[in-house]
């Protein structure tokens, strides 16, 4: 299975003295996770780390929903054993990609977005649906969808990993098939609380690489206040149109690794090709 190209980063923000977020990136297994811990210092970061570690240790064939249930039980058991603190918890959003198919699973209000580039500037779609009080109000018709982002109770969630009163959490999932020129964005609410969907879409449209996208989004969240921890992962479709520079560098790596009688030849030309590749990467053809 081909490893997907991705970028990831986390930032504690401008108003927190610690970072309660955790993330996991396992491209060789097609797995990416963002967990947003809650419960304060030495609690939220413990809960999100348990989520990360549980998913990292789970067999790659286990479905995401089952993996998240395991992480829920692990956080509850840890709190009962005096690890972290009572009442600690974490939201989580995870992506599993295999060949051309993907699945997203989540608990709480950490989000997954699908970004599709097109001739009209691109389209942003929220794949996940927040497990939140305001989302419940919208589903019942009590408020309009347009009121969600600015509602005073938008940060009240209806469930999370580690919720002591729940033997099991409700894990929602969506499945899809990768198309060309798509990215999936996983994020904690430190992004979408500061940057609305229209601005997220605009920034993704400006980004040429996943690394650019992550940097632009984190900087925007900080510039808009940075009130919470911010964690973002951007994962590229296996069908993404590869840049010439990337194809060239991958070709060089494969040829040098080939060994045998070709090693001397490829080593001799590697310097020249590498310089060419560096120039192409810098210009980002």
Q: Identify the three-state secondary structure at position 138.
A: helix
Whether residue 258 lies inside any domain: the answer is: yes
Res 256 pLDDT > 80: no
For residues 259 and 160, membership in a common domain is answered with no
Res 254 pLDDT > 70: no
Res 79 pLDDT > 70: yes
pTM: 0.84
pLDDT digit string (tens) for 215-246? Answer: 999 999 999 999 999 999 999 999 987 544 44
For residues 131 and 223, membership in a common domain is answered with yes
Contact indicator for 14, 226 with CB cutoff of 8 Å: yes
Contact indicator for 56, 67 with CB cutoff of 8 Å: no
Write down the mean pLDDT value for the chain.
88
Whether residue 157 lies inside any domain: the answer is: yes
Q: Tell me which residue range forms the domain holding 259.
A: 244-283
Stretch 201-207: mean pLDDT: 97
CATH number of the domain residue 166 falls in = 3.60.40.10
For residues 214 and 269, membership in a common domain is answered with no
For residues 100 and 122, membership in a common domain is answered with yes
Q: What is the C-alpha separation between 94 and 106, in angstroms, rounded?
A: 6
For residues 221 and 97, membership in a common domain is answered with yes
Q: Phi/psi of residue 178, each to 5°?
A: -60, 140
């Amino acid at each position: 299975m081909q490893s997907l190209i991705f970028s990831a980063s986390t930032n504690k923000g401008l108003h927190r003295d610690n970072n309660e977020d955790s993330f996991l990136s396992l491209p060789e297994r097609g797995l990416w996770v963002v967990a947003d811990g809650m419960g304060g210092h030495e609690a939220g970061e413990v809960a999100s780390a348990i989520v990360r570690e549980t998913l990292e240790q789970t067999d790659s064939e286990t479905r995401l929903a089952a993996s998240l249930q395991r992480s829920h039980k692990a956080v509850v058991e840890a709190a009962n054993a005096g690890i972290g603190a009572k009442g600690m918890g974490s939201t989580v959003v995870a992506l599993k990609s295999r060949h051309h198919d993907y699945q997203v699973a989540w608990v709480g209000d950490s989000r997954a977005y699908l970004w599709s580039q097109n001739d009209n500037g691109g389209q942003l779609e929220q794949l996940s649906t927040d497990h939140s009080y305001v989302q419940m109000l919208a589903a019942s018709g009590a408020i309009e969808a347009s009121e969600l982002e600015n509602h005073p109770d938008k940060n009240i969630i209806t469930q999370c990993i580690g919720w002591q009163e729940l033997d099991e959490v409700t894990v929602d999932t969506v499945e899809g098939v990768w198309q060309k020129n798509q990215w999936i964005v996983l994020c904690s609410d430190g992004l979408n609380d500061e940057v609305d969907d229209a601005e997220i879409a605009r920034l993704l449209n400006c980004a040429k690489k996943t690394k650019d996208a992550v940097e632009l989004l984190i900087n925007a969240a900080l510039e808009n206040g940075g009130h919470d921890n911010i964690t973002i992962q951007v994962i590229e479709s296996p069908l993404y149109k590869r840049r010439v520079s990337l194809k060239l560098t991958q070709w060089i790596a494969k040829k040098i690794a080939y060994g045998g009688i070709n090693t001397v030849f490829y080593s001799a030309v590697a310097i020249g090709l590498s310089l060419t590749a560096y120039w192409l990467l810098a210009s980002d053809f």
